Structure 1
Amino acid sequence: MNLNQLELLRVLQETNFNLSKAAEKMFVVQSAVSRQLQLLEGELGAPVFERQGKKLVGLTPLGERIMEEVTLINVSKRNIQTIAEDFLHNRNGELHIATTHTQAKYFLPEPIRKFREKYPNIKIYIVQSSPTNLIDLLHHHQADIAICTEKLDESDDKLIINPCYEWHHVAVMPKDHPLSEGEITLERLARFPILTYSKGYTGRSNIEKAVADGHVGLDITLEAADSDIIKTYVRIGLGVGIIAATAIEPQADEDLIARDLGHLIPPSVTRFAYLKQLYLPTFCRFFIDELLRAAGRTS
């Protein structure tokens, strides 16, 4: 058994057990992949993959258990390389941030500006996706850190999850809207079409909780993942928007009224997460410190 064979197992799982794709990723011919797999299974004394003819269709129970160890080995390889680079004060590298549009536009600019001042040669990649997919990006080593409000499950024992900042929702509307004056209640909101976030985005679960607790149904006629899209359709008269207070820009949104909904909708908490077993390089720890500083917290 050698490291190349173990790497082959990882690549096969990544490529959905496709031998030709695995061979391409490992820069060898398919016959070499098949031969290495045959040698490994011969040494182990049992098959690692389930087969239909010559096609690999899944892992055997033994294969499932072996892949757990292969994952640990892969993490260790990454850590060794990162530790060595950190020890040598390597200021050339990459920071991959997985987040949503709202965080990327309204929260991250200042931490990223500070990061760029400190580490001008580190390349920054921002991957915008759904909260559910952000966690998958961490687990598949396609992101170093994920930042979002929804879907960070505290029960995920493979992640370190920390609170970053607390925020609340606001109702946005044109200045001449009936809700621009007087007390806002769920009953009053229910009289108008509501434009808000798609399920799973930016505190939508807290909006649903407030509606359920208040026993008042809201007429949600438009859902979007992007705060700017919601504001656009508020401007053309499609309804009242419910968005994150952090998404209000005083100058750009001076034509709109933003009314606090903190008394109706529970506050939301944006969190950041990273893999527990991965060694964080110095520049990544610096970025986390800047996140907390921007949020008014200390690390």
Structure 2
Amino acid sequence: MNLNQLELLRLLRETDYNLSKAAEKMHVVQSAVSRQLQLLEAELGSPVFERHGKRLLGLTPLGEHIMREVEQIHQAKKNIQSMADDFRANRNGTLHIATTHTQAKYLLPVPVQKFRRQYPGVKIYMLQSSPDNLIDLLHQHRADIAICTEKLAEDDRLILKPCYRWHHVAVVPQDHPLTGGDVTLQRLAAEPILTYSPGFTGRSAIEKAFHDAELQPDIILAAADSDVIKTYVRLGLGVGIIAETSYEPGKDSDLVALDLSRLIATSVTKIAYLKQLYLPSYCRYFIDALLEQAQLKHLGHCSGQ
């Protein structure tokens, strides 16, 4: 057994068990990959993959157990390289950030700008997806950190850092009936609602608030993007429920934001990374910049209330 064979197992899973793609990633011919796999399974005395003819279908139960160890070995290799780079004070590298549209637009710009001034040699790759996929990106080692509100707390293999607390607002045109009188869940439930797709930006908190009040909201449009929701509110399709940070008074002056903090539970955006991950100094710097910006946004919001 050697490290190349273990890396082959990881690449096969990464390429959906495609031998030719795994061979391409290893810069060898497919026959060499097949031979290495045969040698490994012969040494182990049991198959690692389920097969249909010559085609690999997935991992056997033994393969699943082995793959967990392979992932730890792969992470250890990455950690060793990161430690060596830090020891040499290397200021080059790549920072992979997995996040949602809301965080990418409303939280990250200032920290990214500050980071670029401090580490101009480090490239930034921003991967935008759903919270479920963000967690997968961490485990697939395609992202160093993830930033979002939903799902992260459900994975005990992650270290979580609370970033900032926020609440939802309802956005409506200036002449909308909801701008008069107190806003209640009952009044909201009587309106067509436009809000986030399931799994995005506190959607679970919205659903729980209505469920606890024994109300069924009429959600006629769901999107991952706050700007999309605001666009359709402007077209008169209904009431938008979005994150408070997504309402921009200058750009959204044609809309009124109605505070829902008394009606829908406060949400917490979190930063997450793998427990076994060694964080390079530039990654730690970025996390600190994020937390600093989140605190400034929170203080600014509080002073504006």
TM-score scaled by length of structure 2: 0.93
Aligned residue for 1:153? 153
Distance 1:62 1:184 in 2: 57
- Aligned partner of residue 56 in structure 2, secondary structure: strand
Distance 1:232 1:180 in 2: 19
Aligned residue for 2:197? 198
- Aligned partner of residue 157 in structure 1, secondary structure: coil
Cα distance change on mapping 1:180 and 1:16 into 2, 3 Å: same
Please say which of residues 3-12 and 284-293 is displaced more in the overlay: 3-12
Aligned residue for 1:233? 232
Q: Number of matched residues?
A: 296
Aligned residue for 1:78? 78
Moved over 3 A (4+): none
- Aligned partner of residue 124 in structure 1, secondary structure: strand
Distance 1:13 1:183 in 2: 54
1:293 aligns with 2:284: no
Distance 1:101 1:281 in 2: 25
Distance 2:31 2:281 in 1: 42
Distance 2:17 2:33 in 1: 11
Aligned residue for 2:33? 33
CA displacement 1:100-124 (0-9 Å, x = unmatched): 1111111111111111121112111
Cα distance change on mapping 1:42 and 1:190 into 2, 3 Å: closer
Please say which of residues 55-64 and 8-17 is displaced more in the overlay: 55-64
- Aligned partner of residue 290 in structure 1, secondary structure: helix
Residue 276 (structure 1) shift: 0.9
Distance 2:56 2:188 in 1: 55
Aligned residue runs from structure 1 range 71-220, under 5 A: 71-154=71-154, 156-220=155-219
CA displacement 1:190-229 (0-9 Å, x = unmatched): 2221111111111011111110111222221111111011
Distance 2:59 2:14 in 1: 12
Distance 1:199 1:167 in 2: 18
Aligned residue for 1:223? 222
Residue 127 (structure 1) shift: 1.0
- Aligned partner of residue 95 in structure 1, secondary structure: strand
Distance 1:114 1:70 in 2: 36
Aligned residue for 2:302? none
Distance 1:39 1:225 in 2: 47
- Aligned partner of residue 153 in structure 2, secondary structure: coil
Distance 1:79 1:158 in 2: 16
Aligned residue runs from structure 1 range 17-32, under 5 A: 17-32=17-32
**In angstroms, what is the RMSD of aligned CA positions?**
1.4
Amino acid of the residue matched to residue 93 of structure 1? G
- Aligned partner of residue 57 in structure 1, secondary structure: strand
Residue 50 (structure 1) shift: 2.6
Residue 51 (structure 1) shift: 2.6
Distance 1:174 1:90 in 2: 52
Amino acid of the residue matched to residue 214 of structure 2? H
Residue 61 (structure 1) shift: 2.9
- Aligned partner of residue 142 in structure 2, secondary structure: coil
1:264 aligns with 2:274: no
Distance 2:129 2:274 in 1: 18
Aligned residue for 1:51? 51
Q: Which runs of 5+ in 2 are unaligned?
A: 297-305
Distance 2:136 2:23 in 1: 24
- Aligned partner of residue 153 in structure 1, secondary structure: helix
Please say which of residues 20-29 and 143-152 is displaced more in the overlay: 20-29
TM-score scaled by length of structure 1: 0.95
- Aligned partner of residue 64 in structure 1, secondary structure: helix
Amino acid of the residue matched to residue 30 of structure 2? Q
Distance 2:241 2:137 in 1: 28
Aligned residue for 2:277? 278
CA displacement 1:82-110 (0-9 Å, x = unmatched): 11111111111111111111111111111
Distance 1:34 1:236 in 2: 58
CA displacement 1:264-283 (0-9 Å, x = unmatched): 11111111100111110000
Amino acid of the residue matched to residue 219 of structure 1? D
Distance 2:211 2:42 in 1: 59
- Aligned partner of residue 246 in structure 1, secondary structure: helix
Q: Which runs of 5+ in 1 are unaligned?
A: none
- Aligned partner of residue 120 in structure 1, secondary structure: coil
Distance 1:101 1:59 in 2: 34
